[in-house]
């Protein structure tokens, strides 16, 4: 474990943890851009993750998201989620910002998670935007490729859509502002399991670095680091984060 990273964690006052799909990979939730296992290796984002796709073929899109939601319902938080929840008890202040649409951070015990890309559980009307409450938590067998008619809005009768942020859509303004503010204030940012390719979320670690924070990437794909206070820990989050916690704070 890099001693400079251990020291930065031990001394930090405000830790920002910024997570992406890789933090849930060891729970069996697929990432997006990993070459063989990522969702975008098998599915076309233009046909599934845009408002135009939903307008064109709501059954295809709703069925795909229901398949993913059922997989998340069966998944359990892993050691990376649990270590992040534990870190909140070890540092003076922790802000957790996630791009993920699952609820595994919450189920691991993290509180006040800032979700930049929405949630698979929070569907809403495609037309009037009002929340739809009817999604069941009962487990159905996840069925890949099954078309499914979306529920109808009880207020206006239009189709209900998944409560996630699709390409070309604005991120929730308050969540994005909180994430940017925390990035400007933190002294250490751990970027865990993200390719950092999707904007504006990818600005979060960039703002932290510009504001003088130490930035640490945790990813099996080593990150090319530029700044004097930027580090890359190459490996799986479920292995490296518990090691980092132990090295900084003991058992």
Instruction: State the distance between the two ends of the chain, measured CA to CA, in whole angstroms.
Output: 16
Alpha helices in 108-223 (DSSP H): 173-185, 203-210
Burial class of residue 25 in the structure, from the number of CB atoms within 10 Å of its CB (0-12 exposed, 13-18 middle, 19+ buried): buried
168 binds, among Zn ion, ligand BJW, none (CB under 5 to 8 A by kind): ligand BJW
117 part of the active site: yes
β-pair type (160-164, 118-125): antiparallel
- Asked if residue 100 lies in contact with residue 24, where contact means CB atoms within 8 angstroms, the answer is yes
Q: Provide, rounded to whole angstroms, the least separation between the CB of residue 154 and ligand BJW.
A: 24
Interaction between residue 165 and ligand BJW (CB under 6 A): yes
Interaction between residue 131 and Zn ion (CB under 5 A): no
State the DSSP code for 97: E
Interaction between residue 33 and ligand BJW (CB under 6 A): yes
Q: Provide, rounded to whole angstroms, the least separation between the CB of residue 171 and ligand BJW.
A: 6
Q: Considering beta carbons, is residue 8 or 159 the nearer one to Zn ion? A: 159
State the DSSP code for 43: S
12 binds, among ligand BJW, Zn ion, none (CB under 5 to 8 A by kind): none
Q: Is the dihedral of CA 26, 100, 240, 82 positive or negative?
A: negative
**Stretch of residues binding ligand BJW (CB under 6 A), selected from 4-12, 129-137, 194-202, 206-214:** 194-202
With H, G, I as helix, E, B as strand and everything else as coil, classify residue 240.
Answer: helix
The residue number with the shortest CB distance to ligand BJW is: 22
* Residue positions annotated with a catalytic role: 117
- Chain contacts with ligand BJW (rule: CB under 6 A): 20-22, 25-26, 31-34, 38, 49, 99, 101, 117, 164-165, 167-170, 193-195, 197-200, 218-221, 236-237
């Amino acid at each position: 474990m890099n001693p400079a990273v251990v020291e930065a964690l031990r001394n930090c006052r405000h830790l920002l943890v910024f997570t992406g799909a890789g933090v849930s990979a060891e729970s069996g939730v697929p990432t997006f851009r990993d070459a063989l296992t990522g969702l975008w290796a098998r599915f076309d984002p233009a046909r599934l993750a845009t408002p135009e796709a939903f307008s064109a073929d709501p059954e295809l899109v709703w069925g795909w998201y229901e398949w993913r939601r059922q997989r998340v319902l069966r998944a359990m938080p892993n050691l990376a989620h649990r270590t992040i929840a534990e870190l909140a008890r070890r540092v003076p202040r922790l802000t957790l910002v996630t791009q993920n649409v699952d609820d595994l951070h919450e189920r691991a015990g993290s509180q006040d998670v800032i979700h930049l890309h929405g949630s698979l559980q929070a569907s809403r009307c495609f037309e009037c935007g009002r929340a739809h409450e009817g999604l069941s938590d009962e487990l159905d067998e996840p069925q890949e490729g099954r078309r499914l008619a979306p529920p109808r809005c009880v207020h206006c009768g239009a189709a209900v859509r998944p409560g996630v942020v699709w390409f070309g859509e604005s991120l929730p303004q308050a969540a994005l502002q909180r994430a940017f503010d925390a990035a400007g204030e933190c002294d250490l940012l751990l970027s865990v399991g993200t390719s950092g390719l999707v904007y504006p979320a990818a600005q979060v670690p960039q703002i932290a670095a510009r504001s003088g924070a130490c930035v640490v990437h945790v990813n099996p794909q080593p990150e090319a680091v530029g700044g004097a206070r930027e580090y890359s820990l190459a490996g799986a989050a479920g292995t490296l984060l518990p090691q980092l916690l132990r090295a900084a704070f003991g058992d």
